[in-house]
Amino acid sequence: MPISKPPFGVYTPLVTFFNEDESIDVVATKQHAKRMAEGGVAGLVLQGSNGEAPHLDHGERAQIIRTIRSHLNELRFTKVKLIVGCGAASVRETLTLISEARQAGADYALVLPPAYWAAAMTPAVVENFFNAVAAEAELPFLIYNFPAVTSGIDISSDAIIRLAKANPGKIVGCKLTCGNLGKLQRVWSSLPEDEFAAFAGKSDFMLPGLVAGSNGVIAALANIVPATHVKLIQLWNEGKLQEARQLQSRLSNADGALQKVGVAGVKAVVSRYFGYGRGIGRRPLGNTSIDAMSKDVLGPLEDIIRLEEKYARQSGKL
């Protein structure tokens, strides 16, 4: 059976919940995965930037994947895909992480470019890295372009297109957190849409991303309001552009607020408004709570959470 790209839709880059002692909070993890699936997401992205991937060891990574896959299957959300972050500083370690992710139940991998020796990571070296991973990877994978966490390394549209064409069925998509919609448009227009998924990587350009050819969205804000993101896709599919623009405006305001509170802040919002988990990050990220957030931050978030409650009621999930 030929390997296909990830299905079109909303993907939540799942946060990793911790207990007070920084161990994995399995109960909150399962509750969170359940709420995302009930919100209508097409998939979950585990162990990405929001999942604090650099803070997890190999055993914890496998535990999280197995726990979520098993729980979703028990709930009959078998079609929800798992994309797992597997980027590392070497080809060897990246391949090991991909192999372990496959064994634990992942459908796809997500791979950052290596960035430890940033000065040595020329465009040619980065391209060679992805070709080498594709040659041996046990899972199809997406290229993850996020210059803010890779010492400024920004993979060009030309490189993404070359890599996808050279590795069909292995490199099946990209996540563009860089926010470059021109890059997204060029990639989408140069590769077969049924074989390659180019994703916008933030809520604040979700609708412009759809216009440019995004395969949906991979967005941190979906940790809080998954059904609202699904609603925007519904409006787009129905051609209701004015309604979609209004909803995009509210998502953009909420996303801008969320970016001010960091990963632990995302978890604190989930804890306060949805009743599970804690605003705990592994050190040095530290902890936070709703009480530490200003009204300027909470206002846009509470606005979008009210919408989420409305859409969840409409779908019978509240």
Q: pLDDT tens-digit profile of 30-57?
A: 999 999 999 999 999 999 999 999 999 9
Report the distance separating Cα 222 and Cα 26, nearest Å. Answer: 20
Report the distance separating Cα 57 and Cα 218, nearest Å. Answer: 24
Q: Is residue 61 part of a domain?
A: yes
Binding-site sequence positions: 218
Q: Is residue 293 part of a domain?
A: no
- Phi, psi at residue 174, to the nearest 5°? -150, 150
* Joined tokens for residue 25: 């909070």
4 or 235, which is more confident: 235
Task: Name the one residue in this structure whose structure tokens are 């190999």.
Answer: 58
pLDDT at 314: 80
Q: Is the pLDDT of residue 305 over 50?
A: yes
Q: What is the largest CA-CA distance in the chain?
A: 53
pLDDT at 1: 44
Q: Is residue 273 part of a domain?
A: no
**pTM value surpassing 0.95:** yes
Q: Is the pLDDT of residue 267 over 70?
A: yes
Query: In the structure, what pLDDT confidence band is assigned to residue 161 with cuts at 50, 70 and 90?
Result: very high
Binding-site sequence positions for pyruvate: 218
Number of structural domains in the chain:
1
Burial of 310 (0-12, 13-18, 19+ CB in 10 A): middle
The residue segments making up the domain with residue 219 are 9-240
Tell me if 13 sits within 8 A of 221, measured CB to CB: no
Burial of 243 (0-12, 13-18, 19+ CB in 10 A): middle
Q: Is residue 19 part of a domain?
A: yes
Q: Is residue 54 part of a domain?
A: yes
One of 5, 144, 170, 267 is an active-site residue; which one?
144
Report the distance separating Cα 171 and Cα 161, nearest Å. Answer: 10
One of 5, 30, 170, 175 is an active-site residue; which one?
175
Share of the chain above pLDDT 70, in %: 98
Report the distance separating Cα 262 and Cα 43, nearest Å. Answer: 22
Give the residue from 110, 111, 34, 41 showing the smallest Cα distance to 67: 34
Query: In the structure, what pLDDT confidence band is assigned to residue 256 with cuts at 50, 70 and 90?
Result: very high
Report the distance separating Cα 134 and Cα 189, nearest Å. Answer: 22
Q: Which residues contact 100 (CB under 8 A, 6 or more apart)?
A: 58, 61, 62
Q: Is the pLDDT of residue 2 over 60?
A: no
175 noted as active-site residue: yes
Query: What are the pLDDT digits (tens) for 50-98?
Result: 999 999 999 999 999 999 999 999 999 999 999 999 999 999 999 999 9
pLDDT at 316: 66
311 noted as active-site residue: no
Q: Is the pLDDT of residue 274 over 50?
A: yes
User: 161: domain CATH number?
Assistant: 3.20.20.70
Q: Is residue 265 part of a domain?
A: no
Report the distance separating Cα 210 and Cα 94, nearest Å. Answer: 30
Average pLDDT over residues 142-148: 97
Query: In the structure, what pLDDT confidence band is assigned to residue 313 with cuts at 50, 70 and 90?
Result: confident
Amino acid at position 111, single letter = V
Q: Is residue 34 part of a domain?
A: yes
Query: What are the pLDDT digits (tens) for 162-191?
Result: 999 999 999 999 999 999 999 999 999 999
Q: Is residue 275 part of a domain?
A: no
